[in-house]
Amino acid sequence: MKVVLLSFAHLHMGSYAKQLNAHPDVEIVGIYNEDDSFGQKMADQYRTGFFKTLDEALAVPSDAVVVCSANADHKPMVVAAAQAGKHVMCEKPIATTIADAQAMIDACVANRVKLMTAFPCRFIPAVERGKRLIEEGRLGKILAIRATNHGSMPGGWFAEKEKAGGGAVMDHTVHVADLIRWMLGLEIVKVYAEVDNLYYPELNIDDVGQLNMTLSDGSFVTLDTSWSRRRPFPFWGDVTLEFVGERGVLEIDSFAQKIDVYSAVNKSVSWDYWGSDMDKALVADFIRMVTKEEPAFISGEDGLKALEVAVAAYRSGETGEVVNLPLEN
């Protein structure tokens, strides 16, 4: 399998590139990056070619691309890749608008290529086991869910609304929305949200959000999605889920596979994460999707549905009203 890497703007590309490079059946045949200097550095690191334009990168014989540009740039890259006949894995959120996400899906369908949304949290062992327990009926009917996705403020274009499409709510809602849809097989049908800027007043973008959602079976979800992990915190963030069922409660702490390190040298506390590698599993599934006649496990439609929840949260935050899903485009 030959793959081209399109943009290192998003931090996750470094991990994806590492996993692809380590796979014996994959060859990274080229890199395109908006910053020429960093792009050339990555090309040297992975011993491949660097291309100064997107067209040059897509002209190279390859099977697939990975897109990790700024969120607003996903659409033009994915559409161009589809038109060039390349299968695609696109970083989350799939786009910044519903219209762009749909255009990406349509382009891939029209050109008979597969589109995968990068939601690695599906591959966390605790999440996978939690899904099995729910499907086995161990909790009975799920009545309510409490979720968090706290994180650090990434900086750079993440704090530019035009590039990112939004702040913490855009950045962190989509992971949890996807997990809930996948684990329960239900749709989110109502969203009420409080969205604000409290941690970084110097930035004109949301850094906190509290979402209240209703699922298609009438159960409800609360989600704290924020950039509340400031510099002194030992780890970048979390993804937690607490399912309250008729027969019991299930708590999932996705990144609890860690050691607390108290350093006298650095005068700090850190988490030394030793757990399973969700990105490795995500990339392995991407390779499966490209090399076999099988559909994407995490489709473009999954990416659109998760994005829709974030867009609804912003609309609710602006109007102070409940927003019904699906949204009209």
Establish if 43 belongs to a structural domain: yes
- Please check whether residue 151 lies inside any domain of the structure: yes
Strand order across the 208-215 sheet:
249-253, 240-245, 142-150, 220-226, 208-215, 188-196, 323-324
Q: Is 137 left (phi over 0), alpha (psi -120 to 50) or beta?
A: left
The confidence score (pLDDT) of residue 328 equals: 76
CATH number at residue 274: 3.30.360.10
If asked whether residues 212 and 96 sit together in one domain, one would say no
* 240 in a structural domain: yes
Residues 133, 268: one domain?
Answer: yes
**Displacement of CA 39 from its chain's centroid (Å):** 22
Residue 133 maps to a domain: yes
Both 163 and 254 in a single domain?
yes
Domain boundary residue, one of 50, 78, 113: 113
Q: Is the same domain home to 232 and 131?
A: yes
Q: Are the CB atoms for 28 and 17 separated by under 8 Å?
A: yes
pLDDT at 301 over 90: yes
Instruction: Tell whether the torsion through CA atoms of 165, 167, 168 and 171 is positive or negative.
Output: positive
Residue 292 domain flag? no
Q: Are both 224 and 246 inside the same structural domain?
A: yes
Do 239 and 269 have their domain in common? yes
Mean pLDDT of 120-132: 97
CA diameter of the chain? 58
3-state secondary structure of 269: strand
> Residue 299 domain-assigned?
no
Helix (H, G, I), strand (E, B) or coil at 263: strand
Whether the pLDDT of residue 329 is over 70: the answer is no
What local confidence, expressed as pLDDT, does residue 233 receive? 85
CATH of the domain at 67: 3.40.50.720
| 237 assigned to some structural domain | yes
Residue 311 inside a domain? The answer is yes
**Contact status, residue 83 vs residue 109, Cβ threshold 8 Å:** no
Reported as a pLDDT band with limits 50, 70 and 90, residue 205 is very high
How high is the pLDDT of residue 275?
86
Residue 230: band (very low, low, confident or very high) from pLDDT cuts 50, 70, 90: confident
Say yes or no: 153 and 251 in one domain.
Answer: yes
Q: Domain check: are 274 and 146 in the same one?
A: yes
- Buried/exposed code over 241-274 (b: 16+ C-beta within 10 A; e: otherwise): bebebeeeebebebbeeeeeeeeeeeeeeebeee
- Looking at 83, 113, 143, which one is the last position of a domain? 113
- Domain end call among 113, 142, 172: 113
Same domain, 86 and 211: no
The total number of structural domains that make up the chain? 2
pLDDT tens readout for residues 178-202: 999 999 999 999 999 999 999 999 9
Domain of 221 in residue numbering reads as 125-278+307-324
142 and 272 fall within a common domain: yes
> What confidence tens digit (pLDDT) does each residue in 9-53 have?
999 999 999 999 999 999 999 999 999 999 999 999 999 999 999
Same domain, 156 and 33: no
Q: How far is it, in rounded angstroms, from Cα 209 to Cα 203?
A: 15
